[in-house]
């Protein structure tokens, strides 16, 4: 089934205008369930219940309410909200180009593929090729469903992709979350962690390798489908053995060392030298203190 566009727009930068169409870039495959009546497996209907009058009401009796404080609302009619919407001019107005590394992925909300019209194919691919050569992405304004959005346009495969972005006040910080900011990390632990990261580092992200690999598949979805097929075939349903949970790792150095050894990286001699150096520190300190205490007697003998 061919993809259906959800909107039309025009990318504008300088005096250039490129007509485009927006298509959803993703299609989640998560398992979805419908709620049924257990007695007869019939689909249920959700009814709207008024708590104050303790009765069911019709959707035509609903209005939208904005809570200004606990339990107090101001109401809006659909016509009032419609007047507040931004006027859609279908323009993706590029304000500037920046390196993609300047944008943290946390800002990305939804993704859309941008398809071009037959008349704009050359301009479309010219923009994409130039951005690819310069390693730049575009920051733009775009009115979508009546709301002004900050968006990012970037080259993707052999076309362009648009990401809607979160505003600053929509992004949470660690200010309200305990994240161990004052935890102390030893230099020896940091060194082993860096070696492990270096050994696991690849030059590029291979999507096919990760998402098509057996260990990264959506095993829950596959198990649900398999069990559903068994039920349809009338097979006996068996319950899988519970997963054995691993104990918490207490010795961080041992865990890092074991991780490196598992990957064939020798760390024993380095660790032993570090321990020897640590054990030698107190002895060095005692020797230095002893040497310092004998110094005055040497000077008195010189007199």
Q: 73-77, 200-204, 281-285, 293-297 — which is least confidently predicted? A: 293-297
CA distance 200 to 101: 21
**Domains, the chain, with CATH or none:** 7-27+85-170 (2.40.290.10), 187-239+249-262 (no CATH)
- The mean pLDDT of 125-139, rounded to a whole number, is 93
SS3 annotation, the chain: CCCCCCEEEEEEECCEEEEEEEEECCCCCCCCCCCEECCCCEECCCCEEECCCCEEECHHHCCEEEEEECCEEEEECHHHHHHHCCCCCCEEEEEEEECHHHCCHHHEEEEEEEEECHHHHHHHHHHHHHHHHHCCEEEEEEEECCEEEEEEEEEECCEEEEEEECCHHHCCCHHHCCCCCCCCCCHHHHHHHHHHHHHHCCCCCCHHHHHCCHHHCCHHHHHHHHHHHHHHHCCCCCCCCCCCCCCCCCCHHHHHHHHHHHCCCCCHHHHHHHHHHHHHHHHHHHHHHHHHHHHHHHHHHHC
Residue with tokens 């404080």: 69
Which residue did the predictor score with more confidence, 105 or 239?
105
Phi-psi region of 13 (alpha: psi -120 to 50; beta: other; left: phi over 0): beta
Which residue did the predictor score with more confidence, 182 or 250?
182
Residue with tokens 């469903």: 145
Contact yes or no for 11/153 (Cβ under 8 A):
yes
Which residue did the predictor score with more confidence, 16 or 214?
16
The reported pLDDT for the residue numbered 276 is: 43
Residue with tokens 């304004």: 141
Structure confidence at residue 277 as a pLDDT band (50, 70, 90): very low
The reported pLDDT for the residue numbered 128 is: 93
Contact yes or no for 25/19 (Cβ under 8 A):
no
The reported pLDDT for the residue numbered 62 is: 86
- The answer to whether residue 271 scores a pLDDT higher than 70 is no
Q: Specify which of 71-80, 108-117, 174-183 reaches the highest per-range mean pLDDT.
A: 108-117
Q: How big is the CA angle at 138 (ends 136 and 144), to the nearest 5 degrees? A: 155
pTM greater than 0.75 (yes/no): no
The reported pLDDT for the residue numbered 297 is: 41
- The mean pLDDT of 223-238, rounded to a whole number, is 74
Over residues 208-222, the pLDDT tens digits come to 666 555 555 667 777
Which residue did the predictor score with more confidence, 270 or 81?
81
């Amino acid at each position: 089934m061919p993809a259906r566009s959800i909107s039309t727009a025009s990318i504008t930068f300088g005096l250039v205008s490129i007509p485009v169409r927006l298509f959803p870039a993703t299609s989640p495959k998560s398992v979805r369930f419908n709620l049924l009546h257990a007695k007869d497996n019939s689909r249920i209907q959700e009814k709207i219940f008024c708590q104050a009058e303790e009765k069911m009401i019709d959707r035509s009796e609903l209005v939208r309410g904005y809570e200004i404080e606990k339990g107090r609302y101001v109401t809006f009619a659909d016509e009032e909200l419609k007047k507040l919407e931004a006027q859609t001019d279908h323009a993706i107005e590029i304000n500037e180009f920046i390196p993609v590394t300047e944008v943290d992925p946390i800002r990305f909300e939804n993704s859309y593929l941008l398809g071009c019209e037959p008349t704009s194919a050359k301009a479309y691919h010219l923009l994409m090729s130039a951005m690819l050569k310069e390693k730049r992405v575009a920051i733009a304004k775009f009115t979508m469903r009546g709301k002004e959005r900050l968006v990012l346009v970037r080259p993707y495969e052999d076309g362009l992709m648009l990401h809607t972005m979160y505003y600053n006040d929509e992004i949470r910080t660690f200010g309200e979350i305990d994240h161990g900011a004052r935890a102390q990390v030893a230099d020896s632990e940091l060194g082993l962690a860096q070696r492990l990261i270096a050994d696991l580092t690849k030059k590029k992200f291979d999507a096919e390798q990760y998402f098509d690999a057996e260990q990264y598949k959506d095993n829950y979805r596959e198990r649900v489908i398999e069990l559903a097929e068994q039920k349809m075939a009338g097979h006996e349903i068996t319950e899988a053995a519970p997963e054995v949970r691993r104990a918490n790792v207490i010795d961080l150095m041992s865990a890092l060392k074991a991780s490196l050894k598992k990957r064939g990286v020798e760390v024993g001699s380095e660790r032993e030298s570090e321990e020897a150096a640590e054990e030698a520190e107190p002895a060095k300190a005692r020797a230095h203190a002893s040497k310092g205490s004998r110094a005055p007697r040497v000077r008195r003998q010189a007199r």
